[in-house]
Structure 1
Amino acid sequence: MKIRLASLVSLVSLAALAAALPAAAQEKVLNLYSARHYQTDEALYANFSKATGIRINRVDADDAGILARLKSEGSASPADVILLVDAARLWRAEADGLFQPFKSALLEQRIPATLRGADAGQGSQWFGFSTRGRVIVYNKLSVRKDDVDTYEELGDPKNKGKVCTRSGSHPYNLSLFGAVMQHLGEAATETWLKGMVANMARAPKGGDTDQIKAVASGECQVALTNTYYLARMMRSSNPDDRAVVEKVGVVFPNQASWGTHVNIAGAAIARSAPNLAAARQFLEYLSSDSAQAYFADGNNEWPVVAGVKTANPALDALGKFKAETIPVAVTGANQSKVQQMLDRVGYK
């Protein structure tokens, strides 16, 4: 009897194990490499998993680190989806063959063609899911708004000794300068960049928040920043941040001409994605109204999908503006020529 009972227990255990194996083997996962360092995105990912049952394994690094990792892993990479935060970086990764094309009627309908990669017939290799403007902030006590309401005026002698920026080679600036090159042409853009160097109040350093603070403190008078950095300070409960915001004005440049430069945060499917269906589902989820609203309310970025309702007081306060309409892929493609210009004019 003992022998029979033991045998029965063994058979039951084996049956239970056999039943469990298919479930484990079929667990749905998504391997996400993300350069978005925003804690507010946690809920974005959690909502996707809750809605789909797909567990997200996330690797966080900066854009350069993610791209280096993808290159080193090659076809053995476990990455399914890549999230990057600039058009120049997305274009570079596409040029390096790190993505695969993805055709989706839903994304093509919801995301403007200017905010996604080029489509050679098999679909785009990346899609923008949120936007931010690259605006000019100025010291309200020492600068007239009319003297800094275009990008071109940053290189005008009237602003000599007033300008500060982060590194010219940072992708946020490379994308802006690539857009300006598309509008003005190569020769005029290089002349403009030379003028910006001559107008610097100090050598380029720091990030966008540092530029805003430098304008408020009087270290410089005029600076470039992405809108979401300013919006964060506008929504901050820190009295120091609020004091900075009170001292600076903001301009959406070139409203009378081509419009303010707009950049994106975007996503792509990795070239060797092992969980292709989950990757496709995740990208389409990012275009949903709920995810789009979260980009706005969670990280102060504008949705790319028209008509999405948001509840962000800082974005409301910044107001509506005319945005440029050239494809962001073009600005990314111009980065190599722009970098050569920066080297020639001494823009660090």
Structure 2
Amino acid sequence: MTFSIRTSVFAGALALTAIPAVAEEVNLYSYRQPELLAPLTDAFTEETGIKVNVAHLDKGMVERLEAEGDRSPADLVFTVDISRLAAVVNAGLTQPVTSDVLTENVPAAYHDPDGHWWGLTTRARIVYASKDRVADGEVTTYEDLADPKWKNRICIRSGTNAYNVALVSAMIHHHGEEATKTWLEGVKANLARKPQGNDRAQVKAIWAGECDISVGNTYYMGKMLEDAEQTEWANSVRIVFPTFEEGGAHVNISGVAMTKAAPNKENALKLMEFLVSPKAQEIYAAANYEYPIAPGTEAIDLVKGWGEFTADDTNLMDLANLRPQALQLIQDVDFDG
């Protein structure tokens, strides 16, 4: 089924002023681009008649909401990782949401115990390994990345990137701060080059022979395969799902939270519940090459073809709360230096 892009985008997101509540409208502030949400928001509007307005923000969501206060037009915030969700929650800018539909469709590990945020889809933080230079079974755990056998063989983006901070937080959760600092020092010693670029840039570096493995999110494989200029990069690697030594594969989420000021609260709840329905879950996961989380839903065949894995079952809010310690350790070892 094909959905045309009819989502109403806020004109001039940074200049947006408060708008009056409208009975059949719901307003989103999103770190994810409107065109990536369009299949979802179009389907919601088609089903309910409620128009969805999306304001895309590159950064500064907390500051924006704080400045607007009770006059904020935003009903919901969309983010693409747990740390950004937690930042909005910890700033006191959200309200708890109680819903049987949300509770039934979102596993406990993927929502705030107090109901302030709810996960929508997941992605795994995995290893991209050269098909030519890395044998099957050479890397099986995140702890392996600090093994000296990988000296001058690893590429990675900045340690302070939100996705890597979440991974370091998970390492702290499993092993404590001292062991995690030692691990970070080991990973740094194994880097083939200074951290730089995004996750796709690391795969390009593998293709170019600059390194043999990199750390990235699963969905970037799909993104590369749909880009003619990057398909060759994608075909030079395979996906490996590492685990923690006594845990599963590290996952992160895209998620949603209701703002404290929400002028269209009823419509916002309807959209939240729609987003975790099997129909919406499969639309969203397919559009972004991610994993749906609602019971009975499945990823598309391409994503399933990357392999099976067991996700680490740590509640992501526990990891978000470790973000300050993770950032401090990353800075202490001068990871990007």
Cα distance per residue 1:182-209 (max 9 Å; x no partner): 1111111110001111111111111111
Question: Shift of residue 65 of structure 1?
Answer: 2.5
How far apart, in 2, do the equivalents of 1:264 and 1:81 lie? 16
How far apart, in 1, do the equivalents of 2:317 and 2:65 lie? 21
Contact residue 80 and residue 273 of structure 1 kept, 8 A: yes
Amino acid at match of 1:187: E
The residue number in structure 2 matching 1:336 is 324
Task: Give the number of the structure whose alpha-carbon radius of gyration is greater.
Answer: 1
Amino acid at match of 1:137: Y
Cα distance per residue 1:47-98 (max 9 Å; x no partner): 1112111111210012x32222112212221110000010111112111111
Residues 250-329 of structure 1: matches in 2 within 5 Å?
250-254=239-243, 257-310=246-299, 312-329=300-317
The alignment's C-alpha RMSD in Å is 1.7
Specify which of 192, 202, 206 is matched with residue 201 of structure 1. Answer: 192
Which consecutive unaligned segments of at least 5 residues does structure 2 have? 1-19
The residue number in structure 2 matching 1:80 is 75
SS of the residue 1:82 aligns to: strand
The residue number in structure 2 matching 1:45 is 41
Contact residue 28 and residue 74 of structure 2 kept, 8 A: yes
Question: Shift of residue 337 of structure 1?
Answer: 0.1
Amino acid at match of 1:301: E
Specify which of 134, 146, 171 is matched with residue 137 of structure 2. Answer: 146
How far apart, in 1, do the equivalents of 2:167 and 2:196 lie? 17
SS of the residue 1:272 aligns to: coil
The residue number in structure 2 matching 1:111 is 106
Contact residue 255 and residue 321 of structure 1 kept, 8 A: no
The residue number in structure 2 matching 1:34 is 30
Contact residue 34 and residue 56 of structure 2 kept, 8 A: no
Amino acid at match of 1:93: V
Amino acid at match of 1:89: R
The residue number in structure 2 matching 1:211 is 202
Question: Shift of residue 125 of structure 1?
Answer: 0.1
The residue number in structure 2 matching 1:58 is 54
Question: Shift of residue 147 of structure 1?
Answer: 2.7
SS of the residue 1:134 aligns to: strand
How far apart, in 2, do the equivalents of 1:143 and 1:53 lie? 52
Contact residue 30 and residue 278 of structure 1 kept, 8 A: yes
Question: Quick check: which one's helix share is greater?
Answer: 1
SS of the residue 2:137 aligns to: helix
Cα distance per residue 1:259-315 (max 9 Å; x no partner): 1101000000001111110111110010111100012211111001121145x2321
How far apart, in 2, do the equivalents of 1:250 and 1:93 lie? 32
Question: Shift of residue 316 of structure 1?
Answer: 2.0
TM-score by length of 1: 0.87
Question: Shift of residue 331 of structure 1?
Answer: 1.1
The residue number in structure 1 matching 2:237 is 248
Question: Shift of residue 166 of structure 1?
Answer: 0.9
How far apart, in 1, do the equivalents of 2:232 and 2:40 lie? 31
Amino acid at match of 2:26: L
Residues 153-232 of structure 1: matches in 2 within 5 Å?
153-232=144-223
How far apart, in 1, do the equivalents of 2:234 and 2:164 lie? 22
Contact residue 255 and residue 322 of structure 1 kept, 8 A: no
Amino acid at match of 2:152: G
Percent identity, aligned pairs only?
A: 37
